């Protein structure tokens, strides 16, 4: 039988992996599983310190995600001694996420995602060929199909920058800043795109925001 502390760490490792794929539902479930072991007093000593640190890191990242911000504008803070409150908040989040996921049937989801992927591929092909109007039309179609593919906008921005189209990139990177799980990366890309358009004032404002985020 596995040591409970090791199991807790494995749950957190899975939570981080799910978060990287923006699978917030499974990430939340993994954190809940960790907290249940903590609440049961099965994680102690140096392992408890390690698990507490990892929990804070995972929750810090999750607090930047749109789905979490909507329910908990101030975020879910992990404070030792208040583990039950954190657990209950995450259970509430999990139930809401599950409800939202179930509202889109598997068939509908598959059809939508396939159509979205085709629009993105078409847009990238047009962009590489210099057909900017056609590329924009395809990307806007993909945007209209967007539900939870948050990294899509950063990806489009990257393609635009690769094809020397910073003005076009700005349009999608602005959206990426508001929805991408890695907001700092999206904001850094937006800074480069705005700077490449020659808008030095706009670039300076974004640079100031980036510096403020680090302070």
> pLDDT per residue over 98-115, tens digit each?
887 777 666 687 788 889
Q: DSSP state, 81?
A: T
Mean pLDDT of 115-138: 96
- Sequence-distant (≥ 6) Cβ neighbours of residue 21 within 8 angstroms: none
User: What is the pTM for the complete model shown?
Assistant: 0.53
Among residues 86, 102, 118, which one ends one of the domains? 102
pLDDT greater than 50 at residue 1: no
> pLDDT per residue over 5-40, tens digit each?
999 999 999 999 988 887 889 999 999 999 999 999
Please tell me the predicted confidence (pLDDT) of residue 101.
77
pLDDT greater than 70 at residue 2: no
pLDDT band at 214 (very low <50, low <70, confident <90, very high): confident
Among residues 80, 102, 124, which one ends one of the domains? 102
Q: Which domain holds residue 10?
A: 4-102
> pLDDT per residue over 70-80, tens digit each?
899 889 999 88
Give me the chain's average pLDDT, please.
Answer: 91
Among residues 102, 123, 140, which one ends one of the domains? 102
Nearest to 205 by CA among 170, 172, 181, 180: 170
In the structure encoding, which two tokens stand for residue 187, read together?
Answer: 């904001």
On whether both 86 and 175 belong to a single domain, the answer is no
> pLDDT per residue over 181-194, tens digit each?
888 999 999 999 99
Contact yes or no for 64/44 (Cβ under 8 A): no
On whether both 78 and 32 belong to a single domain, the answer is yes
């Amino acid at each position: 039988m596995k040591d409970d502390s090791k199991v807790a760490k494995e749950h957190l490792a899975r939570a981080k992996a799910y978060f990287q794929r923006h699978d917030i539902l499974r990430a939340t479930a993994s954190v809940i599983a960790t907290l249940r072991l903590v609440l049961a007093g099965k994680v102690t000593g140096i392992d408890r310190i390690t698990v507490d640190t990892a929990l804070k890191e995972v929750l810090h990242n999750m607090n930047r995600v749109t789905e979490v911000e909507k329910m908990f504008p101030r975020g879910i803070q992990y404070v030792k001694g208040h583990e039950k409150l954190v657990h209950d908040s995450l259970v509430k989040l999990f139930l809401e996420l599950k409800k939202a996921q179930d509202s889109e049937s598997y068939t509908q989801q598959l059809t939508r995602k396939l159509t979205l992927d085709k629009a993105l591929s078409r847009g990238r092909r047009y962009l590489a060929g210099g057909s900017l109007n056609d590329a924009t039309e395809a990307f806007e179609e993909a945007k209209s199909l967007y539900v939870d593919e948050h990294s899509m906008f950063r990806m489009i921005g990257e393609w635009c920058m690769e094809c020397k189209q910073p003005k076009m990139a700005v349009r999608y990177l602005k959206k990426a800043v508001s929805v991408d799980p890695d907001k700092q990366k999206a904001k850094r890309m937006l800074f480069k795109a705005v700077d490449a358009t020659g808008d030095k004032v706009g670039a300076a404002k974004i640079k100031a925001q980036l510096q403020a985020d680090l302070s």
